[in-house]
Amino acid sequence: MSLTLHMHPLSSYCWKALIALYENDTPFEAQVIDFGDLEAAAAFKALWPTAKMPLLRDEARNRTIPETSIIIEHLQATYPGPVRFIPDDPEAALRVRLMDRLFDLYVMTPMQAIVADRIRPVDVAKDPYGVAQARSQLATAYGLLETELAGRTWAAGEDFTLADCAAAPALFYADKVAPLGETYPVVSAYLDRLLARPSFARVLREAEPYFAMFPTE
């Protein structure tokens, strides 16, 4: 197998890469990283010193590719399929990359801050100010997306792209910590379309055995 994805089934950023792989039925091997295994953790860190997941290893090209957006662009360039994650048109490509950044930076990042505070050990001080900031950032992002997504089937238009790979995990988890409810009907409807997408539905099925690990409060 040429491609190996180093990942964890519960990781939101790993989901982003998995969605792209599943969209085009790209063959790969999943390597689940157990950071509790010191030897496995050290081996992973030797591949990429930041030890951030996911990490794609392409043996055929002797390349190790970090960062989800870069991984997906690499897949399009070297293992293309019917779904084009970055459009050929320069202006459309910029729109896709902008939406990808919006979901990663303004939805995924504050969501992760809230989750991180929930799993912080009881003997470590909680960060209510940081959580309040994160919730404010999510509310701003939801409001922005309510406008940006109006009239679109997918994040950047009528085609499923890199931006939707980013949106699916970001909104799925964000809705758990800061529910969209009826306040953001456009974003809620878009999340429903993402949940019905076969690639994301597969990701969720595979992650289901791990959902008990997600901190609800």
Residue 98: per-residue pLDDT? 98
127 within some domain: yes
Q: Are residues 105 and 8 in the same domain?
A: no
- pLDDT value, residue 153: 98
First-last CA distance in the chain: 40
Q: How high is the pLDDT of residue 142?
A: 98
Residues 123 and 184 both lie in one domain: yes
Helix (H, G, I), strand (E, B) or coil at 32: strand
Whether 29 contacts 4, CB under 8 Å: yes
- Residue 119 maps to a domain: yes
Residues 48 and 132 in one domain: no
Assess whether 29 and 123 both reside in one domain.
no
**Phi, psi of 189, rounded to the nearest 5 degrees:** -65, -40
Residue 13, burial from CB neighbour count under 10 angstroms (0-12, 13-18, 19+) = buried
Q: What is the CATH number of the domain that holds 29?
A: 3.40.30.10
CATH assignment of the domain containing 118: 1.20.1050.10
Q: Based on the domain organization, do 50 and 143 belong to the same domain?
A: no
Q: What pLDDT score does 1 carry?
A: 60
Q: Are 8 and 41 in contact (CB under 8 A)?
A: no
Q: What is the pLDDT of residue 41?
A: 86
Q: Are residues 94 and 182 in the same domain?
A: yes
**pTM for this model (two decimals):** 0.95
Last residue of a domain, one of 45, 78, 111: 78
Domain endpoint, select from 78, 106, 124: 78
Specify whether 15 is located in the same domain as 39.
Answer: yes
Instruction: State which residues form the domain around 64.
Output: 3-78
Is there a single domain that holds both residue 128 and residue 63? no
DSSP string, 126-152: --HHHHHHHHHHHHHHHHHHHHHTTT-
- 123 and 71 in a single domain? The answer is no
DSSP-derived secondary structure letter, 160: -
Low-confidence ranges of the chain (pLDDT < 50): none
For the stretch 82-131, pLDDT in tens is 999 999 999 999 999 999 999 999 999 999 999 999 988 876 788 889 99
pLDDT, position 107: 98
45 and 137 share a domain? no
Name the domain count of the chain. Answer: 2
